[in-house]
Amino acid sequence: MKKVERINIIMRYINNRARFTISEIMREFNISRSTAIRDIREIETMGMPLVAEVGRDGGYFVMHNSVLPDVRFTNNEVKALFIAFMATRNLQLPYLKSRQSLAEKLLGLISENQQDDLVLLNQILLFEGTNPHNPDLLDLSDLPHPMLETLIQTLLIDSYLFITIQEEKETKSYPIYLLHLYREKSAWLIEGFDLREEKKKIIPVDHLTDVKPYPAKKRVSRKKILEKLSKQEQALNLVLELGPKAIAQFKKYHPLKISISYTNPYQTTAILKTFINVNKPEELTEITNWLLFLGRDVKVMEMPEEVLKGLHERLCIYSL
């Protein structure tokens, strides 16, 4: 256990007791006497009002069973939290109502001068999706799909799910092993392994109507699922070498499933390898636009003819 974690736990331990001794701390946390004494002194330095009892059977107690010291934020920490809250507005994030209560507590903890700084920040900073005429930090104008939090709560217990979705006028149910839950293009998506069809499936959370754990007796082991997925992986057909400018663009934005491997210790060159399904027009258009976004600092090692043709047509349009 790390020192900071141990001290936090000790503070809670002693705050809930009328009296404690160094020996009790040693036994409870399996630490030496000298370490226990140093931790107690550090806790006193942090502001916890401990009173020592003199004598052979002496120990410590917390004055008037005082609570833990107030949490204090530096000016920069307050700004960092506030800007993080601002940046998440209108992103359909789960637990949005909890974010509202957190923001209220933050504003209640800080000084008037710090509050004035946040009011000014709220006036001058705008993020994507923010209404400049109503930049209210506590505004809950874009709540996520109601099933998103239910899905997350279920996933914390089990990754084997039986989900029901509504597609147009048809209702379908799938037993899946959830691989990832992610957000892309303003939509939450489930990437799962369909336990019946034994293949990967992408399902929009917006289509979800019900989710519950899948019966254990019908499950396939995670090891077997990963083995099947490994065998089903398509051959890589797009290989690029990125220079420093292209890497900088990549960091600004890249499709979720695409990653790079740096080829030197200074991270100034990298290799990108992925599979592009040229039979999907939407994916083809998206990758073409993104490759143009990367800029000229790219060396093509391998590329599907369809992608190359799309780039050529787009460049010809730009040159007109």
271 contacts 242 by C-beta, under 8 angstroms: yes
- Distance CA(73)–CA(68), nearest Å, equals 15
Residue 70 has pLDDT above 90, yes or no: no
For residue 219, give the amino acid letter: R
Q: How much of the chain exceeds pLDDT 70, in percent?
A: 88
For residue 41, give the amino acid letter: R
Count Cβ neighbours within 10 Å for each residue of 253-290 and write b for 16 or more, e otherwise: eeeeebebeeeeeeeebbebebebebeeeeebeebbee
For residue 94, give the amino acid letter: P
Q: What is the pLDDT of residue 291?
A: 93
**pLDDT tens by residue, 188-206:** 899 999 999 888 888 999 8
**pLDDT tens by residue, 221-266:** 989 998 888 877 667 889 999 999 999 999 998 887 788 989 988 8
Q: Is 104 helix (H, G, I), strand (E, B) or coil?
A: helix
| Eight-class DSSP state of 218 | G
Closest CA relative to residue 300, chosen from 271, 278, 279: 271
User: In whole angstroms, how far apart are CA 238 and each of 196, 260, 308, 314, 316?
Assistant: 31, 12, 10, 18, 22
Q: What is the mean pLDDT of the chain?
A: 83
Other residues' Cβ atoms within 10 Å of the Cβ of residue 4: 8
- Distance CA(141)–CA(103), nearest Å, equals 15
Q: What is the pLDDT of residue 168?
A: 76
- The pLDDT-based confidence of 137 (bands split at 50, 70, 90) is low
- The pLDDT-based confidence of 173 (bands split at 50, 70, 90) is very high
* Mean pLDDT (whole number) for 54-62: 68
Q: What is the pLDDT of residue 27?
A: 87
73 contacts 110 by C-beta, under 8 angstroms: yes
N-term to C-term CA, the chain: 65
Other residues' Cβ atoms within 10 Å of the Cβ of residue 294: 21
Residue 164 has pLDDT above 90, yes or no: yes
- The pLDDT-based confidence of 302 (bands split at 50, 70, 90) is very high
89 contacts 122 by C-beta, under 8 angstroms: no
